[in-house]
Amino acid sequence: MTTPSPALPQHDSPILPTATLGVMGGGQLGAMFAMAAKRMGYRVEAVSDVADCPCAHHCDRVHVVSYEDRDQLVEIARSLDVLTFEFENIPVAAARAMQAVVPVRPAPEVVHTTQDRAREKAFLVENGFACAPHRVIRSRAELEGAVTEIGLPCVLKTAAFGYDGKGQQKISTTAEIGPAWEAVGSGECVLEGWIDFDCEISVVAARGLDGSTAVFEPSRNIHANHILDVASAPSGLPEAVASLAREMTSRILDKLDLVGVACIEFFVTRAGQVLVNEIAPRPHNSGHLTIDACVTSQFEQQVRAICGLPLGSPRQMRPAAMANLLGDCWRQGEPAWAAALGVPGVSLHLYGKRDPRPGRKMGHLTAVAATIDEAIASVTVARQLAAG
Ligand code: AMP
């Protein structure tokens, strides 16, 4: 779904190849961004606090620097034509300082809103987007009061620096309040009501400099141990639910005035309600299948959006499913890639990480097929064959 801008604001001139695109963060999302940008003829420089990162295999240069070293970051920014990021836990003050010398897209204000659960929830409530009932918590006493108000079960989450379920504790009984506070409760937290959801979906979308949006098909996401396990699209949900999720996504990007790519994760309740869980102001793990299944991938959209180019078509050409390859797949040694790649429609994406620790995202497999059930079956079988 591509929508033209309702009103065309002043159009900055596009940033064209062979300009230099910067990406804050050196992980796989940055690496796949770099692959898309390099294919289009751009120069790509990553800014990372580790030299041996996935980006290093695909970028022209990696600036190894602490994200706290504002002066050096600003110096690096001077050599770039535009800067984006591949993870949102970057100091906003540094991003603001860089913005003074180079366009930062999405803007640091978007990062500021979305890197803190309390601020993100306030943004959602202020703008009328449905989300789980919640309270901001600063002390054990506040937690006890909030549990009484929200009811059990509920989940306590740190406001900042949480991802893949880290910094979260489910509370099912009053006896679990104390241990949950001990485990999570330093600094600001958010207590959320537990949603007995029918399924989890996410919608990746791009928004251009001119305010136009391009929204991908919602994907249906299955998590294991709080980490995305399998994502598949189309979601198979009733069209009314899918179009509501797409429309909410588009409006969230507009309200944030976001230029770039973002992913909105939703809970779909048994009553068909669509509740926002989280906003990621960058490409997302659940959008990796766009590389193999869509006219334009989420990473090419990121390049187009931040460069002020027209967005590509987000149309999905074939049903697709993606399965993450965590370090656990290496338990028996190097996975059997030839066996996995023998499954029709399957493609392999490895991120070049050396140490396959359990739970670490090492790569993913995508399967495309004639039907979504076939795509899910193929990617699942391929991963089983790989892990042995
Ligand atoms: P998050 O890091 O907030 O995306 O949470 C990670 C995962 O935990 C989600 O994808 C859900 O599977 C689960 N989860 C988080 N919050 C809730 C909630 N309020 N109700 C039910 N499940 C949740």
Q: Which pLDDT score, from 0 to 100, does residue 9 have?
A: 39
Structural domains of the chain in order of their starting residue, each with its CATH number: 20-114 (3.40.50.20), 133-193 (3.30.1490.20), 197-387 (3.30.470.20)
Token pair belonging to 93:
């003050």
| Position in ligand 1 atom list of the atom nearest CA 154 | 19
Alpha-carbon distance 301 to 313, whole Å? 9
Residues with CB under 6 Å of ligand 1 are 132, 155, 162, 165, 192, 194-195, 200, 223, 226, 265, 277-278
Question: Which residue from 170, 222, 226, 275 has its CB within 8 A of the most atoms of ligand 1, so it is best to mutate?
Answer: 226
CA angle at 103 for the pair 298 and 251, rounded to the nearest 5°: 50
Q: How far apart are CA 119 and CA 17, in angstroms?
A: 36
Neighbours of 280 (CB within 10 A): 22
Strand 189-193 relative to strand 134-137, pairing: antiparallel
What is the atom index within ligand 1 of the atom nearest the CA of 278? 4
Cα–Cα distance between 123 and 349 in angstroms, integer? 35
Nearest CA to ligand 1 atom 18: 194
Residue 168 CA to ligand 1 centre (angstroms): 9
Q: What pLDDT, on the 0 to 100 scale, is given for residue 160?
A: 87
Distance between CA atoms of 244 and 242, rounded to whole angstroms?
Answer: 5
Q: Which is the closest atom of ligand 1 to the Cα of 197?
A: 21
Tell how far CA 243 is from the center of its chain: 20
Residue by residue, pLDDT tens for the chain (388 residues) are 555 444 433 447 999 999 999 999 999 999 999 999 999 999 999 999 999 999 999 999 999 999 999 999 999 999 999 999 999 888 999 999 999 999 999 999 999 999 999 999 999 999 999 999 999 999 999 999 999 999 999 999 999 876 666 689 999 999 999 999 999 877 899 999 999 999 999 999 999 999 999 999 999 999 999 999 999 999 999 999 999 999 999 999 999 999 999 999 999 999 999 999 999 999 999 999 999 999 999 999 999 999 999 999 999 999 999 999 999 999 999 999 999 999 999 999 999 999 999 999 999 999 999 999 999 999 999 999 999 8
| The pLDDT of residue 127 | 98
